[in-house]
Structure 1
Amino acid sequence: MRAIRPLALAAAGALALTACGGGGESVDTGGGGGGDGGGDNVLVAAVSAQPDQFDPHVTNAYPSFQVLENVYDTLVVPNAEDLTMEPSLAESWETSEDGLTWTFTLREGVTFHDGSEFDSADVVYSYNRIIDEELANSYRFANVASVEGPDPQTVVITVTQPTPNLLALIGAFKGMAILPEGAAEDLDLTTEANGTGPFQLESSDASSTVLTAYEDYWGGAPSIDGVEFRYITEPAAALTSLRNGEIQWTDNVPPQQVQALGEDQDVELASTPSVDYWYMSMNYDRPPFDNPQVRRAIATAVDRAEVTEAARFEAARPNQTAIPEDSFYYYDYAPFEPDEDAARQLLQESGVSTPITMGLMVTDEFPESVTAAQVIASQLEPIGVNVEVEVLDFATWLDRQDQGDFDAFMLSWLGNIDPADFYEQQHISNGSSNYQGYSNPQVDQLLTQAATETDEDARKELYDQAAKIIVDDVSYLYLYNPDVVQAWTPGLEGYRIRADRAINFEEVQLP
């Protein structure tokens, strides 16, 4: 059995490592590791929200993956430049002629943070845990018949049909992390971690999470001694902390200041188009939002350009189909032009009496969601839809989403690489992230077919067809694609901003 130094509870009672900025008890190893503000060689990074937990196979929260990206590895990983898949724990792979067998050769000399050796049994365990327990990313194995380790350095994945995006499925983000065999039995993975990544989880509490460098990391010891993630919800406060030297890096940059910061000698600013999208979705199980004419009326009343300008200023582009313009899979389809009269007509045709009250659930830990919701509320009021903006902490937001306790909600999808990431589990019937309760047999068929189509042009056509129906049905009301905008102290070297928002600090050198 493998073990790792536990994160002991510092106070009695259950620990709730939520993504909210409020309470929660402290967890600490007792080893320090920079929890008091770090040392001279500890990077202090400001992020907007607290991890909800540290089990990579269970959490869906981006604040958790900001940390876990530095703690765990996957078999393959997106390249920082163009997001194509490259080796990580697997140093090479090959595919059989019929496309049904993928054979991965594992990297030698890799150890977990407890010093135990990594081998194929860990991959088999990790993948089968996700599959057997139907965890958050089990859908990624929909075509997988078996995962086997015929010898310590080889993993064979057999699929039931050609799966052209298998590498993206198993490597796109750390939700597919490789854990040591038996980890879920040996550890409380909500508060503990044992990865093969460049940093070890040292401590976490309601104000920060601390990582320390893993000197035996297979890619070479990190250049810094550790990372302290501090939770600073307000972008203006994060920027002030950066200027004051209290932190050295943040991705919580006030969007209205992006242009001015580009000329600020006291801040190093970088931005790049993302593979993210922001959206609003309505609950199909709650009248009148089960009525397609009501949803289309709301989609017609929303001025996406105005929402984008308010929420992101120049750092985003309106888009009604999720996939960004610079992608091969971009679909230029925008059926909803803002038109109050047309929206009122659609409401009249729906047969639903007005005014309609709609609760719109957002979280203050992503302030742009609050701004966007307020603009949408002002746009819907003239057509007879009274929006009650519900501003929640992120933990409550996630819980209510899971329970289906909402009229409508707003947030973003981050780190999408393959076109399936943009549509499949959000809109296929019984999809793991289909919280709105959407079901369209034609969409199911198109998305299922697209997932196994090996011809890229034919695959794009299938996703285009599915996207058109999804947009017309207003399963999601897509809003915009934001840029990734991050800032750090001048002189910090070795950090690369990425379109998928993965945050990697192992090569960072402090000034």
Structure 2
Amino acid sequence: MQTNHSDVTARPATLRLGVFLFGFAVALLALVIPGYAKEVLRIPYAIDIGTFDPDNGFEIDGISAINNVYEGLVEYAPGSTQIVGLLAKRWEISGDGLSYTFHLQDGVKFHDGTALTAQAVVGSLERRRDSGLVLSYMLGNVADISAPNDATVAIRLKHPQPSILHLLASAWGPKVISPQALNEHDKSDKATNWLGEHAVGTGPFKLAEFKRGEGYVLERNADYWGKRPYFDRIEIPVVPDIGQQILQLKAGELDVVPTNFPFAQLSHLPAELEVTAAPSMIQYALFIKPGSPLDNPEIRRAVLSAINPSIWVKDVFGPYAELSKSVYQNLMLDPTDPIEFPNDIDAAKAAIARLGEVNLVIGLHSTKATYARISDRLIVQLALIGVKATAHVLPPGAAFALKGDPNAPDALLTISSPDAAHPENQVRAFFTKDAPLNFYGRSLPEADAIVDVAGTKTDIAERNALYERAGHLYVEAGHVIPLVDVEDVVVHAKGLTDLGLRPAFPPGNIDFATVRWAR
């Protein structure tokens, strides 16, 4: 058989040309078709991360990153308050409500390659409970944590606590940390120093860069046990100024502005941007100082007529808010007897004229524009009935030092959002005598006693009736004035979808494991 030498020498050259052209085509496609390139999501944080330690900080903006690096036993399903399994594929609760048994997922590994075992879960939960860390309180009712076998974790409570699953599913709920990392970096500090800027979890993303004050990078965990995330890389610059965030979003330098986009601008966004709004537990409320003019029931009724949120809610929030029905977020508890604001302005004017001059000072918990917009409306409405009101922003941290301060404002405008979606978490955070966010330290033993009983009930209708009754008592006693529940509003480049927002989480906490481009 004759060999054509010209063909033999030509084919390698042709092959090399074909490979080159193919490579060039792939490179070109990477530029024009996102699916061919590494997918990167760029999302800013307005507040720098204080610590990446999942047990030792109450991060707000940064909790989305922490919750995509670490995982707990259970979680809230996106868009709801339903509790579903995460590292636990199922669980049982004993008849006495004291024992919870969790069965772990198979084949889970930490980012360092260590296999997930029940003993690893026990070690992490004990670290959370026993180390006096910022979030240790969540497991304060846990008497014992054990591992009957490598795939089973048993938790026994001191007394029944139906809200415990909600605490486990909370944005700040207990996460599972690599035991190898804990052992290697424990310098008689439970590894808190190292974990402040490092992380070894089981989540869909790994912490790749931690540059305090500048930004953070997460990279997809190629060995993740669950569904593969769409994005390969999450870039998180620290951009404190909302105006700068908006400019970068419009310039295409960011993909998302997760929080604080001015409501007044939402109705006329550029064509390349869109809004995702979701139910949330963001409730604006006024907490009332003991001894203020509002302790007088006649003055309080007149003031309630003037500040009725039905008058101003659409002006401030457009379609993204609704009237609060109780001291609990509407999504948490739908009361049978919602609170109602009086609306007799003439009677309110007459009452103030009869009672004499009334002056009120409103403290604003934040410099965010929404606080100013609300307080401006309140001041205008109060002027209509003859009440002279002023408002000022409190210094950072001052809202947590109002107890017993004679110079404290008469009312504090703030957001009352709980750490989990159970009514127990709301009432014991803000209203009972020793609640950490009972801003003015007010006490109402009759209501607190009802809460004590409600916290033991597993029947939802029965428990809600008790919580609702206690809530009415706090309102009737003049401790608090619930105003409006506001949706979680995220502005982003058009086409971003499946943000995975959870109502019980802080606003704007996108789930990096579910978010994707709809292309």
TM-score exceeds 0.5: yes
Residue equivalent to 2:101: 103
- Per the alignment, do residues 385 and 164 of structure 1 end up closer, same or farther by CA in structure 2, a change over 3 Å counting? same
Distance 1:305 1:480 in 2: 9
Residues 1:421 and 2:425 aligned together: yes
Residue equivalent to 2:201: 195
Q: Counterparts of 1:41-52 in structure 2 under 5 Å?
A: 41-52=39-50
**Cα shift at 1:307:** 4.4
Is residue 271–residue 497 contact of structure 1 (8 Å, CA) maintained in 2?
A: no
**Cα shift at 1:385:** 4.5
Q: Which runs of 4+ in 1 moved over 6 A?
A: 344-349
Residue 323 of structure 2 aligns with an amino acid whose one-letter code is: P
Residues 1:302 and 2:304 aligned together: no
The one-character-per-residue Cα deviations of 1:398-417 (angstroms, maximum 9, x if unpaired) are x2233337534333216752
Is residue 88–residue 105 contact of structure 2 (8 Å, CA) maintained in 1?
A: yes
Residue 377 of structure 2 aligns with an amino acid whose one-letter code is: V
Distance 1:302 1:271 in 2: 26
Is residue 46–residue 238 contact of structure 1 (8 Å, CA) maintained in 2?
A: yes
Q: Counterparts of 1:88-127 in structure 2 under 5 Å?
A: 88-127=86-125
Residue equivalent to 1:276: 282
**Cα shift at 1:44:** 0.5
Residue equivalent to 2:222: 215
Residue equivalent to 1:490: 494
- Per the alignment, do residues 141 and 203 of structure 1 end up closer, same or farther by CA in structure 2, a change over 3 Å counting? closer
- Per the alignment, do residues 96 and 193 of structure 1 end up closer, same or farther by CA in structure 2, a change over 3 Å counting? same
Q: Give ranges in structure 1 of 5+ residues lacking alignment.
A: 1-38
**Which one has a larger percent helix, Structure 1 or Structure 2?**
2
Residue equivalent to 2:512: 505
- Per the alignment, do residues 326 and 225 of structure 1 end up closer, same or farther by CA in structure 2, a change over 3 Å counting? closer
The one-character-per-residue Cα deviations of 1:39-97 (angstroms, maximum 9, x if unpaired) are 95321013443334333334334223233222221110111143311111112111223
Residue equivalent to 1:375: 377
Q: Which of 260, 267, 272 is the matching residue for 1:266?
A: 272
Segment of structure 1 superposing worse, 275-284 or 340-349:
340-349
Q: Give ranges in structure 2 of 5+ residues lacking alignment.
A: 1-36
- Per the alignment, do residues 41 and 63 of structure 1 end up closer, same or farther by CA in structure 2, a change over 3 Å counting? same
- Per the alignment, do residues 177 and 259 of structure 1 end up closer, same or farther by CA in structure 2, a change over 3 Å counting? same
**Cα shift at 1:102:** 0.9
Percent identity, aligned pairs only, is: 24
Residue equivalent to 1:206: 213
Residue equivalent to 2:476: 472
Distance 2:241 2:453 in 1: 43
Distance 1:200 1:341 in 2: 61
Could you say what secondary structure the match of 1:43 adopts? strand
**Cα shift at 1:248:** 1.2
Could you say what secondary structure the match of 2:91 adopts? strand
Residue 256 of structure 1 aligns with an amino acid whose one-letter code is: A
Is residue 322–residue 481 contact of structure 1 (8 Å, CA) maintained in 2?
A: no
**Cα shift at 1:112:** 3.1
In the alignment of these two chains, the number of paired residues is 461
Is residue 57–residue 135 contact of structure 2 (8 Å, CA) maintained in 1?
A: no
Could you say what secondary structure the match of 1:337 adopts? coil
Is residue 276–residue 481 contact of structure 1 (8 Å, CA) maintained in 2?
A: yes
Residue 380 of structure 2 aligns with an amino acid whose one-letter code is: S
Residues 1:256 and 2:264 aligned together: yes
Is residue 500–residue 515 contact of structure 2 (8 Å, CA) maintained in 1?
A: no
Segment of structure 1 superposing worse, 381-390 or 147-156:
381-390
The one-character-per-residue Cα deviations of 1:432-464 (angstroms, maximum 9, x if unpaired) are 332331221122111121111122221121011
Could you say what secondary structure the match of 2:490 adopts? strand
Residue equivalent to 2:145: 147
- Per the alignment, do residues 359 and 496 of structure 1 end up closer, same or farther by CA in structure 2, a change over 3 Å counting? closer
Quick check: which has more Rg, 1 or 2? 2
Q: Counterparts of 1:410-449 in structure 2 under 5 Å?
A: 410-412=413-415, 413=417, 416-449=420-453
Over the aligned positions, Cα root-mean-square deviation in angstroms equals 3.3
Residues 1:329 and 2:340 aligned together: no
Is residue 301–residue 379 contact of structure 1 (8 Å, CA) maintained in 2?
A: yes
Distance 2:351 2:214 in 1: 48
Residue 185 of structure 1 aligns with an amino acid whose one-letter code is: K
**Cα shift at 1:117:** 3.5
Residue equivalent to 2:13: none
Is residue 79–residue 278 contact of structure 2 (8 Å, CA) maintained in 1?
A: no
Is residue 51–residue 64 contact of structure 1 (8 Å, CA) maintained in 2?
A: yes
- Per the alignment, do residues 162 and 465 of structure 1 end up closer, same or farther by CA in structure 2, a change over 3 Å counting? same
The one-character-per-residue Cα deviations of 1:363-396 (angstroms, maximum 9, x if unpaired) are 22x321232223223334554443231165xxx2
**Cα shift at 1:480:** 0.7
Residues 1:227 and 2:234 aligned together: yes
- Per the alignment, do residues 153 and 343 of structure 1 end up closer, same or farther by CA in structure 2, a change over 3 Å counting? farther
- Per the alignment, do residues 283 and 152 of structure 1 end up closer, same or farther by CA in structure 2, a change over 3 Å counting? farther
Distance 2:128 2:303 in 1: 38
Residue 413 of structure 2 aligns with an amino acid whose one-letter code is: M
- Per the alignment, do residues 195 and 362 of structure 1 end up closer, same or farther by CA in structure 2, a change over 3 Å counting? same
- Per the alignment, do residues 450 and 490 of structure 1 end up closer, same or farther by CA in structure 2, a change over 3 Å counting? same
Distance 1:128 1:345 in 2: 61
Residue 278 of structure 1 aligns with an amino acid whose one-letter code is: Y
